[in-house]
Amino acid sequence: MARPYWSGQIQISLVSFGVKLFVATESKSEIRFHQIDRKTGERVRHQKVLASAVEESPDEAADPVERSQIVKGYEYSKGQYVTIEAEELAHLRVPSKHTMEVSQFVDEAELDPEFFEKPYFVVPENEAQTEAFATVRKALLDTKKIALSKIAFGGREHVVAIAPAGKGESGGMMAYTMRYQAELRDPADYFRDIKKVSIESDSLGLAKELIKRKSAAYDASKFVDGYEVAVKELVDAKLKHLPVPHEEIAPPVRGKVVNLMDALRKSVGGEGSADLPEKKPAASARALPNEKVGLSLVKPTAKATKRQEPKAAKATSKRKTA
């Protein structure tokens, strides 16, 4: 098992127990790029140098600064810094470095997804802590509550939400670091210009039916990084001296957009269905495959209609002969 990212106490009033936190995520991408000189093919490396050396002689290679000579600096005025040693940061008086003191409990539905940042696995520090750990976990599970606290690591203090993992009688807990309110942009700046529209009940019913038909249990294994797959195909083609694959941009579809009601009806395939509101689609409307349609359909162009006329005429001729 990996080393814990943080060890300390969870404290709820007079109740406390030791826990360990493990990072719950890891990067699985196999794509790694390096900076390469186009002429020589050599890898380009970065070095830490003095800013003054670069400003005075930008075309000359500057001597690198030794790692032991580099310290953190806080800019308290333009170009003026106060140096901070690593040991000084390590001994800051921040109680949440060692103890997550629960300040309150909230309902699960109260926390908006945009506040969540990064997940961690929470386990008891040792067997002696398991009873208190399991009791608090079960209480959170039964009451459908989440504990809010603070935790200090990584150079700052985070708000943290602690919740039971899974629904079983035994198991672990999850801790989620959360963003502060000040870190989120004001949604009103982006949503205020959205025009208010009246929603027709029939269209709403069709939209709900579309959602119902496309609903399924979440299976994380079904989702893969398409960008990574495409990069691997590109690399493989270059290594084998094959044609480089590139994006095939579909030509823009021309025509008049069919109204939302017709688009929804075609998407759910609900024409004449007893559980959907009936509305006869326009005679000239032609459905495209659902994957390309979404919530909008198009009427065929005049050119496309002409291409279909000979077949229609032939069919009429056969019926007359019969």
Q: What is the CATH number of domain 1-25+46-184?
A: 2.40.290.10
Helices 201-214 and 260-268, packing angle to 10 deg: 30
Cα–Cα dist 215/53, whole Å: 61
Compute how many other C-beta atoms are within 10 angstroms of the C-beta atom of residue 320: 6
> Which residue's structure tokens are 């991408």?
29
Phi, psi angles (nearest 5°) of residue 231? -65, -40
For a pLDDT cut of 70, what percent of the chain falls above it? 81
Give the start-to-end residue ranges of the domains of the chain: 1-25+46-184
Cα–Cα dist 247/18, whole Å: 53
How confident is the model over 246-297, as pLDDT tens digits?
Answer: 877 777 666 555 678 888 888 888 544 444 444 444 444 444 444 333 333 4
Cα–Cα dist 178/187, whole Å: 18
Q: What angle do CA 187, 193, 194 make, to 5 degrees?
A: 90
pTM of the full predicted structure? 0.69
Average pLDDT over residues 119-146: 95
Cα–Cα dist 172/137, whole Å: 8
How confident is the model over 147-199, as pLDDT tens digits?
Answer: 999 999 988 999 999 999 988 888 999 999 999 999 999 999 999 999 999 99
Residue-level pLDDT at 282:
44
Specify the 3-state DSSP secondary structure of 322.
coil
Residue-level pLDDT at 172:
96
269-277: Cβ within 8 A, 24+ apart? 270/206, 270/209, 275/209, 276/205, 276/206, 276/209, 277/202, 277/205, 277/206
> Which residue's structure tokens are 């025009």?
195
> Which residue's structure tokens are 């009873």?
131
Give the CA distances from residue 68 to residues 72, 85, 285, in Å, rounded to whole numbers and listed in that order. Answer: 12, 11, 73
Cα–Cα dist 203/205, whole Å: 5
